[in-house]
Structure 1
Amino acid sequence: MSAVKDGDDMWIRRLLFGQAGERAERAPATLVCFPHAGGSASFYLPVARLAPPTVEVLAVQYPGRQDRRAERCVEDIDELADRIVAALPARAVTRPLALFGHSMGALVAFEVARRLERRGTAPLELFVSGRRAPSIHRNDRAHLRPDDGLLAELRALGGTATTVLGDDDFMRAMLPVVRSDYRAVETYRHRPGPGLSCPVTALSGIDDPKARPDDVRAWRDHTRSRFEARFFPGGHFYLTDHVEEIVALVAGRVSSALLAADSRR
C-alpha cells in the first residue's frame, strides 16, 4: 500500500490499496482524512486498506513532514483550512464527500466543513476523533514548553511506535514540526457561527486526557443535524486498536447517506 500525490498538488494524497494498487477514483463517494499534530497522510493507510471500493480515501499532507519536510509548517488552523479547500481535487467536491479528522485534524476538518458549506458543498458527514469541541477552550501551552517537556507530552499520549519513542535523537528531530502543529492548535479560537448542516459523529478513547467525554459530547452544539458520540477503550490514539470498527462505522454512514440521497432524487 502506498500514498501518492493527487495530480501535481502537494496537499492531497490518494491512498492506494490492493496488490495492483487499485484506485477508487470512480467510487461514488470520497473520504478525506486529516492527520493529528506531527502526523502525516500515511497515518491513514490502514483506513484505505479497510475501506470498501465505494469510498475513495484521500488524506491531507501538511507542510513540514515527509516529502514536504523542506517547507515551512503552517501554524494557523484557518490558513490550513483555506489552503486545503483550495487544493481539493475537483472530483472530491463534485461528488458526495465525508471528512474524518483526528486530534488536530478534527479542528482542521471542522473548519474545512464550514468553508465547504459556505460554498454550497455540504459534506455528507463530519467525523471528529480525539478532540474536544471547538467552542471549548483550554489554556494549553505545550508548544511553549522546552524540548524535554514537549517530548514528555508526546510520550504520554503515545501514538508513536515504541521503538521511535525510545529513539531520543529521532524524537528531537520531530520536535520542530510537532511544536508548530501544537502552536496552531493551541492558538486556535473558534469563531461563533451557524452550526453545520451535515451530521457530526464524535469518536474518542474513554481514557483520552485530551478529550474528556463531556467535552466530546459538546460537538453536538456544532451541527443542526444528527449528532452521535461514540467512545472506545483506550487513550488518545485509541483508533489504532479499533480501526476496523471505525472504518466499518464510517463506511456504513457514507453508504446510508448515499442511499438517502438517491431516494430523494
Structure 2
Amino acid sequence: MGSILGYLLTKRILNAGKPAPLHLFVSGRKAPSVVDDDPPKHQLPKQKFINHINVLGGLPPEILEHTELMDFFEPILRADFQAIETYIYQPASPFDIPITILQGLADKEVTYQNLLPKIPSHHIIVIGFDIVIK
C-alpha cells in the first residue's frame, strides 16, 4: 500500500513543480501501470481477510489473535485495501529520480515480472523507441 501512496505523492509533488524527492523506495506491489487481476481482498469474508493479513505479515500475532482489536482494525484495513484495489492508473511521465524496488524473498503476492512496467513494443525495443522516451 505504501508503494502506491509513495508513487502518487511523488507524482503530485512533481506535477506541482516542487523540488523532486531525492529517492523513491517501493516494495510489495506491482508497478502502478500493471493491472492487478487478483480478486479484491477487501471483499473477503472476515476470517479469510484476517488470514490474508496474517500471510502478508502485516500485523503482529498479538493483534491478530485479539478479537476486540481485530474488530477495531478490520474496517480500517478493509478501507485501505479497497482504496488500493480500486485505484485506476493514470498514465504519467516517468520520474526523473532514482527508484529502488524491494521484494521480499517469501513474497508470493508479487512476482519479479510484475514489479516492472511493460511498454507496448516487440523484442527489438528500438521499434517502439518513442514510447521509451516519453
* Displacement after TM superposition at 1:177 (Å): 0.2
> Deviation string for 1:134-160 (max 9, x for gaps)?
111123311112212211211221232
CA spacing shift, 1:220–1:123, aligned 2, 3 Å:
farther
The amino acid across from 2:76 in the alignment is: V
Q: State the partner residue of 1:165.
A: 64
1:159-238 paired onto structure 2 within 5 Å = 159-216=58-115, 218=116
Question: Take 1:182 and 1:107, find their aligned partners in 2: how far apart are those partners?
Answer: 12
> Deviation string for 1:186-243 (max 9, x for gaps)?
0011111211111111011022122211112x1597x98xxxxxxxxxxxxxxxxxxx
Question: Equivalent residue of 2:103, what SS?
Answer: strand
The amino acid across from 1:172 in the alignment is: D
Question: Equivalent residue of 2:70, what SS?
Answer: helix
Q: State the partner residue of 2:14.
A: 117
- Kept in 1: contact 2:34–2:117 (CA 8 A): no
Question: Equivalent residue of 1:110, what SS?
Answer: helix
Question: Take 2:11 and 2:33, find their aligned partners in 1: how far apart are those partners?
Answer: 14
Q: State the partner residue of 2:52.
A: 153
Q: 2:34 aligns with which of 115, 136, 141?
A: 136
Normalising by structure 1, we get a TM-score of 0.42
Matched residue pairs, number?
119
The amino acid across from 2:34 in the alignment is: I
* Displacement after TM superposition at 1:115 (Å): 1.2
Q: Which runs of 5+ in 1 are unaligned?
A: 1-103, 225-265
Question: Take 1:106 and 1:115, find their aligned partners in 2: how far apart are those partners?
Answer: 14
Normalising by structure 2, we get a TM-score of 0.79
The amino acid across from 1:131 in the alignment is: R
Question: Take 2:41 and 2:28, find their aligned partners in 1: how far apart are those partners?
Answer: 17
The amino acid across from 2:90 in the alignment is: R
Question: Take 1:115 and 1:170, find their aligned partners in 2: how far apart are those partners?
Answer: 34
Question: Equivalent residue of 1:205, what SS?
Answer: coil
CA RMSD of aligned residues (A): 2.1
Question: Take 2:113 and 2:40, find their aligned partners in 1: how far apart are those partners?
Answer: 22
Q: Which runs of 5+ in 2 are unaligned?
A: 120-131
- Kept in 2: contact 1:165–1:171 (CA 8 A): yes
Indicate the percent of aligned positions where both proteins have the same amino acid.
Answer: 30
CA spacing shift, 1:185–1:156, aligned 2, 3 Å:
same
**Higher relative contact order at CA 8 Å, sep ≥6: structure 1 or structure 2?**
2
